[in-house]
């Protein structure tokens, strides 16, 4: 496992740890031609898989080197598992001075602040102290004392993080900690997609830890087909299949509660924490899949909608016009609901 683990949507959605939380997405094996190139390897505490093809000649080694270099850049920028990363230097500097973090991190914070407001505070990148308190960062999660939760909550709040300018952030509380796990996997998918496009590749599928983006199609005008896993802990079977559009890029980002949790005295506690009360969510929503062109927004919104639950999440998705698929566990069965924006999509098929 690498020192870098974005898959751990640990602050609420993915609040995921060295596992892939959210619906596991895989590319279905359909008809493919030998001209499809594949890259894969370990990254960010999980794995990446890339499939691409091009009508024009492409230097495969140059593509591979470009992908690996970009992953190294992202790791140095956003990893919460190496003390010399940009975000960890920011976290460890406990003062109220303006700090230079670069345009990439500032742009992610801006997105997160917008979605934080839309979630009425449920989504919050400063939730790390609470996540650590519950033990989801390690191997022994536990129920903390109410007083400890109340103390940790005092460290949490997106309003305590100020965007100074396009490259600088400032803490309004010195011990504030920022964790970009719930948004940076989408950022990583987008950056790798840009590497491919810079090489002239316009037909591809990029996946990291189950989160992915496709553009174009497979040889023979075949659509990329993506499988969503059935969101139950004891099952690893296909639940839905998405035939992706051929005429536009789409990211598929899923957040779920069914892979990382612990049980205590008959009560199940999910890794997904609500930043407003510092406790695991208690509703029946087990997964949310968001489909947007921008992987960063899709990643953050899937976390947000899962945190909010089916009723409030569906309302928020409809207000923001977010295409989203909600799956609830009711008794022994699963029920689905779709946002208005998802129902309106005509260029992809979910079946």
pLDDT tens per residue across span 291-307: 999 999 999 999 999 99
The pLDDT, as a whole number, for residue 142 is: 83
In terms of DSSP bridges, do strands 211-215 and 98-100 run parallel, antiparallel, or are they unpaired?
unpaired
In sequence order, which residues have a C-beta less than 8 Å from that of residue 112 and are 6 or more positions away? 123, 125, 158, 180, 183, 300
Q: Is residue 237 predicted with pLDDT exceeding 50?
A: yes
If 0-12 CB within 10 Å is exposed, 13-18 middle and 19+ buried, where does residue 17 land?
Answer: buried
Q: What is the rounded CA–CA span in Å between residue 303 and residue 66? A: 29
Residue 259 CA to its chain's centroid (Å): 15
- 258-288 pLDDT tens trace: 566 556 566 666 778 899 999 988 888 999 9
Q: pTM of the prediction?
A: 0.88
- 51-70 pLDDT tens trace: 999 989 999 999 999 999 99
User: What stretch of H or E contains 239?
Assistant: strand 238-243
Tokens representing 211 are: 């989160």
Burial pattern 175-204, b for ≥16 Cβ within 10 A else e, equals ebbbbbbbbbbbbbbbbbbebbeebebbbb
Residue by residue, DSSP assigns 298-325 as: HHHHHHHHHHH-HHHHHHHHHHHT--EE
Q: Is residue 321 predicted with pLDDT exceeding 70?
A: yes
Q: Which of 167, 156, 96 is nearest to 127 (CA)?
A: 156
Q: Is residue 234 predicted with pLDDT exceeding 80?
A: no
Q: CA-based angle 123:47:104, to the nearest 5? A: 50
- 7-47 pLDDT tens trace: 334 333 333 333 333 344 444 544 445 489 999 999 988 89
């Amino acid at each position: 496992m690498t020192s870098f683990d974005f898959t751990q949507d640990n602050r609420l959605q993915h609040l995921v740890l060295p596992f892939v939380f959210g619906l596991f997405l895989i590319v279905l094996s359909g008809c493919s031609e030998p001209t499809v190139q594949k890259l894969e390897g370990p990254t960010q505490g999980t794995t990446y898989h890339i499939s691409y093809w091009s009508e024009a000649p492409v230097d495969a080694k140059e593509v591979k080197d470009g992908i690996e270099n970009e992953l190294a850049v992202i790791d140095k920028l956003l990893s919460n598992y190496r003390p010399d990363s940009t975000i960890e230097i920011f976290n460890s500097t406990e003062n109220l001075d303006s700090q230079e973090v670069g345009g990439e991190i500032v742009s992610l914070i801006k997105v997160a602040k917008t979605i934080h407001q839309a979630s009425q505070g449920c989504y919050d990148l400063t939730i790390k102290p609470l996540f650590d308190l519950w033990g989801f960062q390690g191997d022994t999660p536990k129920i903390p004392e109410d007083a400890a939760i109340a103390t940790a909550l005092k460290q949490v709040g997106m309003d305590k993080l100020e965007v100074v300018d396009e490259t600088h952030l400032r803490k309004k509380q010195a011990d504030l900690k920022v964790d970009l796990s719930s948004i940076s996997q989408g950022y990583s998918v987008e950056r790798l997609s840009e590497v491919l496009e810079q090489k002239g590749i316009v037909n591809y599928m990029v996946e990291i830890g189950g989160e992915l983006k496709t553009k174009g199609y497979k040889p023979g005008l075949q659509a990329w087909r993506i499988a969503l896993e059935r969101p139950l802990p004891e099952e690893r079977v296909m639940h839905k299949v998405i035939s992706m559009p051929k005429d536009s890029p789409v990211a598929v980002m899923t957040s779920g509660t069914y892979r990382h949790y612990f049980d205590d005295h008959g009560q199940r506690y999910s890794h997904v924490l609500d930043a407003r009360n510092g406790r695991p969510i208690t509703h029946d929503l087990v997964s949310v899949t968001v489909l947007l062109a921008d992987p960063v927004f899709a990643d953050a919104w899937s976390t947000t909608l899962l945190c909010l639950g089916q009723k409030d999440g569906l309302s928020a998705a409809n207000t923001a016009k977010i295409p989203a698929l909600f799956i609830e566990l009711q008794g022994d069965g699963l029920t689905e609901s779709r946002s208005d924006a998802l129902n309106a999509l005509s260029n992809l098929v979910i079946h």
